[in-house]
């Protein structure tokens, strides 16, 4: 990992969904409980982690990606997606654990305030959560834009994870698949080289 993106790689508002789809995403597609027999027949490793240099981007994002790289030669698309995937998993895990210190360094102020409010509400109800990712998260470029020195990169995440929650009514385990688009932003040329999560939205099918 490059030193330029230490915080982004180590961990990692229009409208951020208040509960971030219970902050763990909206269910999409067939759920594990819908196809238990099929899941049992699948190979243990179905989707190996992609190489950092393997980049998928819609045609509309190709030119903006080139423009961003021209403005910021240190920007490497493959490494960026690898870092974004790590940031996604760390943010989701930190939110579930109520780890405000980790979240504070990875989110814009508006997003952090929304997450913090959701964590406080959960704590007031006496609930705790834990997240375990069941498969490597997939990350792909969705949209890239430059507004002056402000760069915004939207990344589509497809993930599968298990949530273990505990509350006054007891414990529950929930397996789900989610599809979301996260927007990361930073100012080109700024002293701080790190990207911050600025928006979360559901991925369109």
Residues 47-61 pLDDT 10s: 333 444 467 788 888
CA 162 to chain centre: 15
For 141-158, what is the mean pLDDT? Answer: 95
Tell me: pLDDT of 164 over 50. yes
Using the CB atoms, write b or e for 166-179: b if 16+ within 10 Å: eeeeeeeebebbbb
Residues 106, 7 contacting (CB under 8 angstroms): yes
Residues 162, 131 contacting (CB under 8 angstroms): yes
For 160-166, what is the mean pLDDT? Answer: 95
Q: Of the CATH numbers 3.40.50.300, 3.40.718.10, 1.10.1660.10, 3.10.450.240, which one belongs to the domain with range 12-32+56-202?
A: 3.10.450.240
């Amino acid at each position: 990992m490059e030193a330029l993106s230490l915080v982004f790689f180590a961990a990692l508002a229009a409208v951020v969904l208040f509960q971030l789809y219970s902050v763990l995403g909206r269910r999409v597609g067939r759920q594990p409980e819908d196809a238990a027999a099929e899941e049992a027949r699948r190979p243990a490793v179905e989707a190996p982690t992609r190489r950092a240099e393997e980049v998928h981007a819609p045609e509309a994002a190709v030119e903006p990606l080139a423009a961003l790289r021209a403005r910021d030669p240190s920007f490497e698309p493959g490494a960026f997606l690898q870092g974004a995937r790590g940031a996604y998993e760390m943010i989701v895990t930190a939110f579930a654990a109520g780890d405000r210190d980790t979240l504070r360094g990875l989110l814009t102020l508006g997003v952090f305030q929304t997450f913090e409010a959701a964590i406080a509400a959960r704590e007031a109800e006496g609930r705790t959560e834990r997240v375990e990712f069941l498969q490597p998260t997939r990350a792909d470029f969705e949209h890239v834009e430059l507004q002056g020195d402000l760069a915004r990169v939207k990344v589509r995440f497809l993930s599968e994870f298990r949530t273990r929650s505990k509350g006054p009514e007891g414990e529950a385990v929930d397996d789900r698949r989610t599809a979301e688009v996260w927007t990361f932003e930073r100012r080109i040329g700024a002293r701080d080289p790190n990207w911050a999560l600025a928006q979360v939205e559901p991925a369109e099918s």
